[in-house]
Amino acid sequence: MINLSRSVSAGAPIISEIERRSGQQISACYQCGRCTSTCAGSFAFDYSPHRLMRLLQFGMVEEVLRSRTAQLCLDCMTCSLRCPMSIDVAAVIDTAKAIADEMGFKDTERDLRLFRRGFLKNVRRHGRLHEAGLLSWFNIRTRKFTNDLSLVPLLMRKKKIHVVPPRIRNKHEMRRIFREINGAGKPR
């Protein structure tokens, strides 16, 4: 077990730790770029998925741990499904993010990840998105109490947002779907 409080200049042990936790072999990547060509989020990243893999191969851990890529990756796993070497790229990125958190790297995209968590909680509870519930949950959590409130009357007039949450028909089925999704993500 490596000491994660060590300097990030100790790149090799951290890369081994990423490999150990994610169960992936970073050296197996041969830079075909397929992961990047299918990634819906890469336009917002500083390093595309295949470049991030290359950084790890070169031992440039600090760039990876500080990257917007680690912060913004959607964890959609498209890259993992398309990799001809069956590398779970999403797991590598997710693990790098977890290690960055443990080492105290600044979380620059906290609001975005909070929104994602709130979105999923909301769908799990209501069966589909209850926009008004998500808006109020997010504004309270971020303490931006009036954020986007000016849009609410217009959205309500156009019936794009509803005060009363939708009724979920089969709560057990929705919980089962979320359980399966969470299970599929293990051991990340």
Q: Which residues bind ligand SF4 (CB under 6 A)?
A: 29-35, 39-42, 49-50, 53, 73-79, 83-85, 87, 89-90, 93
Identify the sign of the CA torsion 100, 105, 110, 112.
negative
Alpha carbons 53 and 9: distance in angstroms, whole number: 17
Nearer to ligand SF4 among residue 78 and residue 139 (C-beta):
78
Closest alpha carbon to 152 in 131, 129, 183: 131
The CA distances from residue 23 to 12, 92, 160, 174, in Å, are 16, 8, 43, 29
CB of 36 to ligand SF4, least distance (A): 7
CB of 176 to ligand SF4, least distance (A): 24
Nearer to ligand SF4 among residue 22 and residue 42 (C-beta):
42
CB of 43 to ligand SF4, least distance (A): 10
The CA distances from residue 103 to 60, 73, 74, 166, in Å, are 16, 19, 21, 41
Q: Are 95 and 18 in contact (CB under 8 A)?
A: yes
Nearer to ligand SF4 among residue 141 and residue 188 (C-beta):
188
Q: Which residues contact 130 (CB under 8 A, 6 or more apart)?
A: 122, 162, 165, 166
CB of 139 to ligand SF4, least distance (A): 26
- Which two tokens mark 142? 């971020």
Nearer to ligand SF4 among residue 67 and residue 122 (C-beta):
67
CB of 158 to ligand SF4, least distance (A): 31
Nearer to ligand SF4 among residue 30 and residue 151 (C-beta):
30
